[in-house]
Amino acid sequence: MRDVAKLAGVSHQTVSRVLNEHPNVRQETRARVLEAMESLDYRRNLAARTLVTRQSHTLGIIGFETTLFGPASMLYGIEDAARTAGYLVSIATFRNLERRPVLEAVDRLRQHAVDGIIAIAPKHAVTDALTQAPAGLSCVAVGGAGGGDGVPTVRVDNAGGAQLATRHLLDLGHRTVHHVAGPGDWPEAQERIAGWRETLTAAGAEVPPILPQSWNAETGYVQGQALARDPAVTAIFCANDRIALGVLRALHEAGRKVPEEVSVVGFDDMPDSGYFLPPLTTVRQDFAELGRLSLALLLQHMAGPESPAHVVVTPELVVRASTAAPPKRRSRR
């Protein structure tokens, strides 16, 4: 810092003010200091700064090893929001969605002296583990298992998204909507089932049976084959876009045209969804907004812990070419 001050012709206090983005520094002075820093390839000593301020300006993110679009996009959204806000990020991942691996991840991040932790929480075991985090360590949970006591949470309104999809299909004239569900032990899948069922019940429509399995395209393909054999099936709501991809293939192989004979809706709005054949109508989750809101909630609690807040993000229905009125309704028009 002294070398930078000497080259820029200022005091080391002025260099400190520039580093800390203090407003009371003239623009030309700031530019001269930044130029000197670049010329000397100066990098501030973060370890020394942490010792002095007792803050590392580093946030921990807990995720789990997965290729699922939703959790992976949450991770990217949180990391991007943190970096945009000027925070370094340390990531800890685990394989099993159980309490012990989550607590081990918390401990690893504490060793890096993180200021707070944001955890992706698709199951209740994650939020339950966060309630056991050391006192004074601020934690926020993001995902379908949010809303419990003790931990601030940010999540998408999964039931509301399912209602949007189901209502869209009913409004097109379909008598009922079949559902290919995600795994039964995931709160996100449970909430989407609940939203779908509530909408059908409120409309006085038949509620078809479901068989919760997994989030992958194979589930959609296998269940789609059975649905394709039933000529009464005209509308299918899938728990995510990967499931919808499998359903679309099954319908195509069975000769059931989409959307002329069967309408299909997904959930997530993966980047590829608009390029499915046909382009997929789906429920969009704003993962960037999830990241921004989770960071804002964490910073709020780091500044002064309050009673846990629970933030819910409203999803959006994106209508494309995979939905239409059922065959009889179109012929009357």
Closest alpha carbon to 275 in 239, 236, 314, 248: 248
Given pLDDT bands bounded at 50, 70 and 90, which one contains residue 45? low
Q: Which of 31-35, 68-72, 315-319, 326-330 has the lowest mean pLDDT?
A: 326-330
Tell me if 12 sits within 8 A of 1, measured CB to CB: yes
Q: What is the pTM of this model?
A: 0.82
Say how far residue 89 (Cα) sits from the centre of its chain.
17
Closest alpha carbon to 320 in 253, 270, 255: 270
Task: Report phi then psi at 283, rounded to 5.
Answer: -100, 120
| Residue 51 scores a pLDDT above 50 | no
Residue 238's pLDDT is 98
Average pLDDT, the chain: 90
For the CA atoms of 101, 187, 81, 274, what is the dihedral angle to 10 degrees?
A: 120
Structure tokens at 68: 């699922």
Which residue type, as a one-letter code, is found at position 277?
A: L
Cis status, amide bond into 134, omega within 30 of 0: no
Parallel, antiparallel or unpaired: strands 178-180 and 153-156: unpaired
178-213 pLDDT, tens per residue? Answer: 999 999 999 999 999 999 999 999 999 999 999 999
All structural domains of the chain, each given as residue ranges with its CATH number in brackets, are 2-44 (1.10.260.40), 56-156+286-314 (3.40.50.2300), 158-285+318-330 (3.40.50.2300)
State the average pLDDT over residues 292-317. Answer: 88
Tell me if 71 sits within 8 A of 64, measured CB to CB: yes
Task: Report phi then psi at 182, rounded to 5.
Answer: -80, -170
Residue 314's pLDDT is 96
Q: Give the sheet arrangement for strand 58-64, strand by strand.
A: 88-94, 58-64, 116-120, 138-142, 153-156, 310-313
User: 137 to each of 268, 288, 296, how far by Cα in Å?
Assistant: 32, 24, 16
Residue 24's pLDDT is 85
What percentage of the chain carries pLDDT values higher than 70?
92
Task: Report phi then psi at 114, rounded to 5.
Answer: -70, 150
| Residue 114 scores a pLDDT above 80 | yes
Parallel, antiparallel or unpaired: strands 281-284 and 263-268: parallel
Structure tokens at 285: 């989750």
| Residue 333 scores a pLDDT above 80 | no
| Residue 52 scores a pLDDT above 60 | no
227-264 pLDDT, tens per residue? Answer: 999 999 999 999 999 999 999 999 999 999 999 999 99
Residue 40's pLDDT is 87
Closest alpha carbon to 154 in 291, 263, 247, 323: 291
State the average pLDDT over residues 62-72. Answer: 84
